Amino acid sequence: MRGSSRLVLTAVSVAIGILLAIQIRSAGELTSTVPDLRTSEMRVMLMEAMRHNQVLQEDLEALRQKVREYERTVTQGVGALGLLRTELDRARLLAGITPVRGPGLVVTLSDSKKPAVQGDDPRLFVIHDEDILKLINVLRAAGAEALSINGERLLATTEIHCAGPTVSINNMRIAPPFVVSAIGNAAAMESSLRMRGGIVEVLGYFGMEVTITQHNALEIQGYTRPLRFEWAKPIEGR
Amino acid sequence: MLLPLFGLLLGLTLGFFLEFSVPPHLAPYTAVALLAAFDSLLGGLRAALEKHFDDNIFVTGLLSNTLLAALLAFVGDRIGINLYLAALVAFGVRIFQNLALIRRLVLVRSK
């Protein structure tokens, strides 16, 4: 081997060695550490947040219990305070923060299980926020007094809004199947749902699965998270 | 013959201590380019042992192989087929051929 060739080959060898080492290190980082670390980190954060949430929820429940206790002791007896208490209970019932029981319906909506046909718009075969809105509207028209969707109590401020593959209700993401509970006149509500050209028929046309069951003593949970009114303030003296 | 080998080891140790890494989205290109460079290196060694090594041919070959391999990988990515496989197979085969020839030449010489 001549001198110059030896020199060139050695120099190139060193360069390739450096590059190879960098490549090996980069590839190692790429495949193993980065995404794993990220996901496990996120998982820990999520668990932490959920635990925190749980604790706060329990605190809230305890505080509520205390408030109820105070009310009971303060308003014991009759007269003006007793009246005030009945008024308060009525307001709570209207606001939807008390759990309620009564006769009613449970309506379950599931996405279509029809096999997809080429050329059909797949959006026609899933439950949309608008379908739920229509259903809720029909139930209310038939006299539903308390409503919940997958355990989320419907309030005056509740939104039923499309959120990607899910539906946002009370700012919670709800995924199908949607279980709508309604307390009211069960027979009236069921017949307005099953009306000719009504919502059950329309949804059934697209293969959506709608089941309706009547219950004698249906329970609907109250809304448990804090209610905040940031913008609307009551006008004094009215 | 041994000097380039030591060079490679030196480079490897240097590389591991260097605070530099390839951006993840460029890693496939540099990997193919590296393979091409390695093939050129073995080709150069073989030529040196066969005593027709030429600096210019070696350096231009090294650069063009490396760039072409990276370019192939890049174009393949753009048009959606794994073109880098072509470079991978071609250089892989040549690396083994060169290695076999080098082994033979070294063995013959040491006899």
| C-beta atoms of B31 and A23 within 8 A | yes
Residue B30 lies in a domain: yes
Per-residue pLDDT tens digits for B20-71: 777 777 777 888 888 888 888 888 888 888 888 888 888 898 899 888 888 8
Confirm or reject CATH 3.20.10.10 for domain A101-220, answering yes or no.
no
All residues at 6 or more sequence positions from A97 whose CB lies less than 8 Å from its CB, including other chains: A153, A222, A223, A224, A227
Per-residue pLDDT tens digits for A61-74: 899 888 888 877 77
Q: What percent of chain B has pLDDT over 90?
A: 9
At residue A134, the pLDDT reads 92
Q: CA–CA separation, A41 vs A35, rounded Å?
A: 10
Averaged pLDDT for residues A201-224: 89
Residue B43 sits at the chain A interface (C-beta within 8 Å):
no
C-alpha Rg value of chain A to the nearest Å:
30
| C-beta atoms of B22 and A23 within 8 A | yes
Residue B13 lies in a domain: no
> How many separate domains does chain B show?
1
Does position A213 have pLDDT exceeding 70, yes or no?
yes
B45 contacts on A by Cβ (under 8 Å): 9
Which stretch of DSSP H or E encloses residue B10? helix B2-17
Confidence of residue A78 (pLDDT cuts 50, 70, 90): low
B50 contacts on A by Cβ (under 8 Å): none
Q: What is the SS3 assignment for A91? A: helix
**CA distances to A165, A177, B66 from A129, in Å:** 10, 12, 56
Phi, psi for residue A3 in degrees, rounded to 5: -60, -50
- The chain A residues in contact with chain B (CB within 8 A) are 1-2, 4-6, 8-23, 25-27, 29-30, 34
Q: CA–CA separation, A131 vs A199, rounded Å?
A: 8
Q: CA–CA separation, B5 vs B11, rounded Å?
A: 10
| C-beta atoms of A16 and B6 within 8 A | no
Averaged pLDDT for residues A2-28: 80
Measured from the Cβ of residue A191, the count of other Cβ atoms closer than 10 Å reads 12
Residue A73, classified by CB atoms within 10 Å of its CB into exposed (0-12), middle (13-18) or buried (19+), is exposed
ipTM: 0.79
Residues in chain B, overall count: 111
Q: CA–CA separation, A191 vs A138, rounded Å?
A: 10
**Domain range for B102:** 26-110
Residue B9 lies in a domain: no
Does position A5 have pLDDT exceeding 80, yes or no?
no
Q: Under a CB-based contact definition with an 8 Å cutoff, are residues A135 and A180 in contact?
A: yes
